[in-house]
Every structure is written in C-alpha cells, then in structure tokens.
Amino acid sequence: MEKTQNNKAWFLVLPVLVIVAFSAVIPLMTVVNYSVNDTFGNNEFFWAGLEWFDEMVHSSRLHEALGRQTLFSAIILAIEVPLGIFVALNMPKKGFWASLVLVLMALPLLIPFNVVGTIWQIFGRTDIGLLGRGLKALGLDYNYTSDPLDAWITVIVMDVWHWTSLVALLCYAGLQSIPQAYYQAARIDQASRWAVFRYIELPKMKGVLLIAVLLRFMDSFMIYTEPFVVTGGGPGNSTTFLSIDLVKMAVGQFDLGPAAAFSIMYFLVILLVSWVFYTVMTNLDRSQTDIPEAM
C-alpha cells in the first residue's frame, strides 16, 4: 500500500528555517553580494562579476597566507594528535588523581582566546616575561617580535598548550570506554604494550580521533585571536594567517569586494578539506568492515 504523503509537516520545519536564514543564510548572502560588487562607500554598488574572485585566485598575498596557514595546521595536527594520545594513555584511570588531572587538563580550554594570547604575549616578552627572560638567561637569542622563527615557535607552542587538552580528553574518553576484558585478553595472549596500543587502544579510539582531527583542523585553520594578540601577524607577514589577512583586508583596508571573495573561498577550502578528512577516515573504516552477507 502506498503511504499517504502529508506535506503539511514541512510547516513544522519553518521556524528553524527562519532562524537559520537570519543567523546564517542572509549574512552569507550579504558576503556573496559584496563579492560580486564594487563599492566606493555611500552604499553605492557596481557590478563587478567574478573580477574579485579572479584577482584573489591569482593573488600572491593570498597564496602566501594559505601556505602559512596550511603549514601551521599541519604542524599543529602533527604535534597535538600524537601528544594528546600520549597524554591520554598516561592519565590516571580512576580515583582522586583522575579527577584532579581532568580538571587540570580542562583548564586551558576554559580560558578565553584573547586571554590565552595575552598570557603568552607577556610570558614570551624578553623584558618582563618568564619564558622570554628565562630563555635569554640561558643564552638563547629569543625574540618573537623580531625573529619569524621565534614567532612561529611561540604561536605553535601556545596552540599546543591551549588545545592538546582537547585531543587528550577526547582520547581519554575513548580509552575509558574500552572494556577491561580486552586488556585481560591481551594479557592472556601475552601481547606487548605496543601490541595493546596498536590492536586494542588505537582501533577503539578511531572514532574520537576522527572528531579530534576534524576539530583541530578546522579550529587551527581558522585561528585568529591568539596569534593576533601575540604577534599581530608579524614580524613582517610571517605569522599572518588567513583570518588575520582577511580582517586586515576587510576592516583595515576596507576592500570589501576582494575580502568577500576571499572569505567565500576560505570557507569553501575549509569545507572541502573537512569533507576530504571525513570521507577518507570513514572509508578507511568501511573497507575494513565491508563483509558480504554469507553466514
């Protein structure tokens, strides 16, 4: 029998559609509108077509920012994911110390982004900062305001400090959900510590790791506040990541058209890369479970 279709149910979705329209679709469309127009102020717009997109695609400024951004995200993931797993593996599993460590681990995640930036900005200063002065006292020539490499190291260490906890907590949750029987079976089977990690813990953490990688990729690829507070994108343009560059372009230079085109492409890149990550990781999973029905 045919199921009767009642399209009136769509009305129930209407409130959500309205809210989403005002919160996301309409602002996004404003950006789209900017990206295809030119303006000299006074709310006057002139049709520019895809000119801004063409300009941005060929802009070496954007290419460089994208390169820095990609390098930054790659380094962040390469450090935070293994480090987070390592920390999670070594966290106490129960009792007083487990609670204490959980609270300590959660602390960096609770600090507002600009405060994190300020903390490190002061921490790294060579005149009054503990880190900066300490390194200086050790005879190291450290200065994040003048040396691009020092600036990079500072921004990366800051991000690792800020966000490794997230990866660790996610992994910890994944580890806690592994039934004791798996560890017992491994002991019976005389599995080495490495084998326990490789064949029990890592596979069981795969789900949370996917989430951790996705979150860390997206957040690091969109990073703005912390490096802006610490280095302001400098020295030179050495730590000018995509968001920082975008804000400079839009708010600093008031190039609304190019900035709008830039932000649309930026958004698409994040969407694309996230999709690729997700698809690759879930497919990896599927190829392993793909079992024809036989039994």
Partner 1 sequence: MAQITLKNLAHSYLPNPQSETDYALKEMDHVWQDGGAYALLGSSGCGKTTLLNIISGLLTPSHGRVLFGDRDVTDATTAERNIAQVFQFPVVYDTMNVRDNLAFPLKNRGKDAAYIKARVDQIARMIGMEAWLDRKAQGLTADAKQKISLGRGMVREDVNAILFDEPLTVIDPHMKWELRTQLKELHRQFGHTMIYVTHDQTEALTFAQKVVVMYEGRVVQMGTPEELFERPAHTFVGYFIGSPGMNFLEADVQGDRALLPGGETVMLGAHYGPVAGRVQIGIRPEHATLVASGGLPLTIRRIEDVGRHRLVRGEVMGRPLNVVMPEGMPVEGLPQVAFAPQKINVYADDWRVVPQEEGAA
Q: Applying CB under 8 A, which residues contact partner 1?
A: 179, 181-182, 184-185, 187-192, 195, 199-200, 202-204, 288-291, 294-295
CB of residue 172 to partner 1, shortest distance in Å: 20
CB of residue 278 to partner 1, shortest distance in Å: 19
Rounded to an integer, what distance in angstroms lies between the CA atom of residue 61 and that of residue 240? 10
CB of residue 182 to partner 1, shortest distance in Å: 5
- What are the backbone dihedrals phi and psi of residue 93, each rounded to the nearest 5 degrees, phi first? -85, -30
- What are the backbone dihedrals phi and psi of residue 192, each rounded to the nearest 5 degrees, phi first? -75, 165
CB of residue 179 to partner 1, shortest distance in Å: 7
Rounded to an integer, what distance in angstroms lies between the CA atom of residue 52 and that of residue 58? 10
Rounded to an integer, what distance in angstroms lies between the CA atom of residue 163 and that of residue 180? 29
Region at 160 (left for phi over 0; alpha for psi -120 to 50; beta for the rest) = alpha
In the complex with partner 1, which residue's Cβ is closer, 128 or 188? 188
What are the DSSP E strand ranges found in the chain? 37-39, 45-47
In the complex with partner 1, which residue's Cβ is closer, 137 or 291? 291
In the complex with partner 1, which residue's Cβ is closer, 209 or 223? 209
In the complex with partner 1, which residue's Cβ is closer, 2 or 293? 293
Question: In this structure, how many other beta carbons lie within 10 angstroms of the beta carbon of residue 234?
Answer: 17
Residues 6+ apart with CB under 8 A from 167: 80, 81, 83, 84, 85, 88, 212, 216
Rounded to an integer, what distance in angstroms lies between the CA atom of residue 31 and that of residue 108? 34
In the complex with partner 1, which residue's Cβ is closer, 42 or 180? 180
| DSSP state at residue 39 | E
CB of residue 281 to partner 1, shortest distance in Å: 14
In the complex with partner 1, which residue's Cβ is closer, 141 or 189? 189
CB of residue 202 to partner 1, shortest distance in Å: 8
Q: Among 26, 84, 28, 114, which residue's Cα sits nearest to residue 216?
A: 84
Q: Please say whether the beta carbons of 122 and 154 come within 8 A.
A: no
Residue 34 in tokens: 């900017």
CB of residue 102 to partner 1, shortest distance in Å: 24
CB of residue 112 to partner 1, shortest distance in Å: 40
**Tokens 């966290």 -> residue:** 91
